[in-house]
Amino acid sequence: MWFDLHSGWTVRPSGESAVPPGIAAALAEGVPAAVPGCVHTDLLRAGLIPDPYLDRNEDDVAWIGHTDWHYATAFDAPEAAFSDDAVAELVFAGLDTVAEIDLNGEPLAATANMHRAYRFDVGARLREGRNTLAITFRSAIRHAQDRRAELGDLPSSGNDQPYTFIRKTACNFGWDWGPALVTAGLWKRCGLHVWDTAHLSGVRPLVGVADGAGTVEVRAGVARAGSDADGAPLVLHARVEGVEASVPVPPAGDGNGHAEAAVALRVPDPRLWWPHSLGAQPLSRLDVWLETGDGAVLDTWSREIGFRDIELRRGADAIGSEFTLVVNGTPMFVRGANWIPDDCFPTRVDAARYERRVAQARGAGIDLLRVWGGGIYESDDFYAACDRKGVLVWQDFLFACGAYPEDAGTRAEVGAEARDNVTRLAAHPSLAVWCGNNENYMGRHHWGWEEALAGRAWGAHYYEELLPAVVAELDPTRPYVPGTPFSTGPEHDSLDDDHGCVHLWEQWNRRDFTTYREHVPRFVSEFGWQAPPAWATLTAAVHDSPLAPGSPGVRHHQKAQDGNGKLQRGLATHFGAVTGIDDWHYLTQVVQARAIRTGIEHWRSHRPRCMGTIVWQLNDCWPVTSWSAVDSAERRKPLWYALRAAYADRLLTIQPRGGGLTVVAVNDSAEPWAARVRLRRMSPDGAQALEAVLELEAPARATAAVALPAAFTSADPATEFLVADAGGRRALWFFTEDRHLRHPAPSYDAAVRDTAEGHEVTVTARTLLRDLAVFADRLHPEAEADLCLETLLPGETRTIRITTPEPLDHGALTSFPVLRTIGDHA
């Protein structure tokens, strides 16, 4: 029996603290605390701190992370806990992070890992009637600093906080897209688990497909009560798709009453689970239960599983070493995005929000989300949404951008954390890849770590020994890769285009995005370009007057080193000088979208040498200028629409190759594509200088390419461009940057029609219109357009549908700065 302990909690500062004088008295006796939750959300709810997401309030709440916090509650122990055969355990699914637990005024345990669960036998400590439970959370910042002083400093990436010395969400300490909001609290459920005889301590279904049948090996941990360690026989049962089997549970073999049993099921002709880009997502209910020998049910466990086979091919080939994800025998070009925590305070992300976010990923054509190693192992709600939507998950273990200590205590914690989470997540068919770390090999190879380490351990034991051993033991159905980026082995350069997976950040940091085309990696697991959030999100969070690209609040919501400088250099390269917040906001979003489309189209055109892209990043955790496609208010940035186009099953693209230009038909659909390409050399007023028809035959899940005739590449770069059309797909090629084009000012007709959902804005081009957008959220924060960054040739018409809860002004909908195209400036 499970008894929640989620009510009656209060929180107050503990010991010496830096509480601002204005709220010290209000906090002295404690304020109500939500469990699950954290101290920031408790203080927000009590009205004692400003919203840290607004303006520069982040700085005003920094004291919270330097303070110890005391949580307390009282509860009545259930009668069942006092029966002769009962085992009563206090269970914490997640404690954030350095916790000292007292039960009835006596110390019970101390913990220091946010990423694992804890279970404590409290049968001898419970009192009949009222009990008190208190947890003191020590400052994670001070704890990490003390550990660093004890163990010696280790290099990390651009963050002076010692996040590698504590098993806590790294980005809590600040990142180049996130604030420093160092949390504390009971961030997952807690309660009393009262049981007798035995219970299921962990269930791992190992699911696969073999010889046309679905296979499930259910491995279950069984904990016996101490009084029954060698007692009555137990039987483990499992059932799926009408197939049932059972096995006796062997005697406990570890001296602590724990045993493991495995029952095998074989389902003939199963319906296969696929990522949405390859097929459907049928799910099957798997029921597991534990019985006594005479048929009394002791414990049950149920999940939805999917029958599929996952392989990651990393073997040597004629080029180097491939990196190809294979699902049910089908190699796939991964169309991915990176995932970070969706809120700095994870308990604010519920199942419905996960569902919406994964739906947005799928809507953009994304078929894999990589859960980044500086965040959290997500809630089961996240993986369940991915199961239903057919979005694969690449799961990093939680190591990112730093050297990690390998002392005995940290090793033990990492092992327990890994075992917890591999067991918890094993049932999800969407989970496809385990990965040891984010950018730690890159740091060792390219960030000067070797000299700073001076031969000391830095985390390799985890990535090369401990974690692969845990995966091999607990989840052998899934591939493991030591890190991202990663080549053929630990000593091989992690950024070798011919081997493994790479991250490409030189473009954002130092070079233009057009230089993506200088690289043809085997797999790109990170690359990205920044832009601000949607206008409604920005202006709700930043209240600078006047609002400007460099105003204080805008700067505060830009966490990347020289981030605004990099944005300005990107604008200057393509558009020249940009002044004013309206043009800056629009054009930075255009550059972001173009940058990502440039990379994706280039790499997709090189299938099968390159077999995947994972753009940085899908989502945000707060309102910020970042690399995201969906901002923290769930608004789709122009990048989202660009991803939808670049990740479409069929893509037409023009690429520079061999000193000329080539048109490539990329076909990631299951059927061949006979692409009849209409190729035109045009000027902005609609005049055609040249036209031809090219025939391309792209097999299923393959590409086809043809070089363009020289006459098409001898255009006047300032006044002409190329258009290729085939099967409803269009590719454009401009020979020079926008700032060098001699194009007339954009000219068009625009009309608005009211609909049941809002409005339709119909635009007819009289001249070339590049990157047409209607930013309806500037008129109402909930208004949204179905199209964005559309390019129209002279004479073409496009209708953009606007959904809005309230009618919008027609004139404003068709005027600057709501309706935008390249060339119309303030």
Mean pLDDT of 458-474: 98
Q: Which two tokens stand for residue 153?
A: 């400093």
**Rounded CA separation 627/559 (Å):** 11
Q: Is 579 exposed, middle or buried (0-12, 13-18, 19+ CB in 10 A)?
A: exposed
Residue 229: pLDDT above 80?
Answer: no
825 or 171, which is more confident: 171
pLDDT higher than threshold 80 for residue 227:
no
How many other CB atoms sit within 10 Å of the CB of residue 62?
A: 15
- pLDDT (tens digit, 9 = 90+) per residue, 393-408? 999 999 999 999 999 9
- For the domain spanning 650-740, the CATH number is 2.60.40.10
What's the pLDDT at 255? 67
CATH number, domain 195-305? 2.60.40.10
Q: Is the pLDDT of residue 805 over 60?
A: yes
Cα dihedral value 530, 534, 536, 540, nearest 10: -30
Q: At residue 207, does pLDDT exceed 80?
A: yes
Determine contact, residues 402/164, Cβ cutoff 8 Å: yes
Q: For 175-187, write each residue's pLDDT tens digit.
A: 999 999 999 999 9
Q: Distance (Å, rounded) from C-alpha 473 to C-alpha 468? A: 8
Mean pLDDT along residues 8-24: 92
Domains of the chain: which residue ranges? 2-193, 195-305, 650-740, 748-820
Partnered with residue 486 across adjacent β-strands are 501
pLDDT in tens, 34-80: 999 999 999 999 999 999 999 999 999 999 999 999 999 999 999 99
CATH superfamily of the 2-193 domain: Galactose-binding domain-like (2.60.120.260)
3-state secondary structure of 71: strand
Alpha carbons within 13 A on the beta-carbon side of 457: 15
Better-predicted residue by pLDDT, 230 or 534: 534
Q: pTM of the predicted model, to two decimals? A: 0.97
pLDDT at 16: 80
Does residue 228 surpass a pLDDT of 60? no
Q: How confident is the model at residue 368 (pLDDT cuts 50, 70, 90)?
A: very high
The stretch 566-586 carries a mean pLDDT of: 95
pLDDT tens track for 76-94: 999 999 998 899 999 999 9
Q: Which of 334, 396, 331 is nearest to 368 (CA)?
A: 334
pLDDT tens, residue by residue, 231-283 = 789 999 999 999 999 999 998 766 678 999 999 999 999 999 999 999 999 99
pLDDT at 159: 61
**By percentage, how much of the chain surpasses pLDDT 70?**
99
Alpha helices in 576-723 (DSSP H): 581-604, 638-646, 710-713
Mean pLDDT across the chain: 96
Same fold, 2-193 and 195-305: no
Rounded to whole angstroms, the Cα distance separating 115 from 119 reads 14
Q: How confident is the model at residue 121 (pLDDT cuts 50, 70, 90)?
A: very high
The span from the CA of 631 to the CA of 260, in Å, is 45
- For the segment 409-423, the average pLDDT, to the nearest whole number, is 98
How would you class 410 by CB atoms within 10 Å of its CB: exposed for 0-12, middle for 13-18, buried for 19 or more? buried
What is the reported pLDDT for 18? 82
For the residues of 320-361, what is the DSSP string, one character each? SB--EEEETTEEE-EEEEEE--SSSSGGG--HHHHHHHHHHH
pLDDT on residue 743: 87
pLDDT digits (tens, 9 = 90+) for 673-717: 999 999 999 999 999 999 999 999 999 999 999 999 999 999 999
CATH of domain 748-820: 2.60.40
Rounded Cα distance between 436 and 444, Å, is 15
Please state the rounded mean pLDDT for residues 375-386.
Answer: 98
Report residue 313's pLDDT band, with 50, 70 and 90 as the boundaries. very high
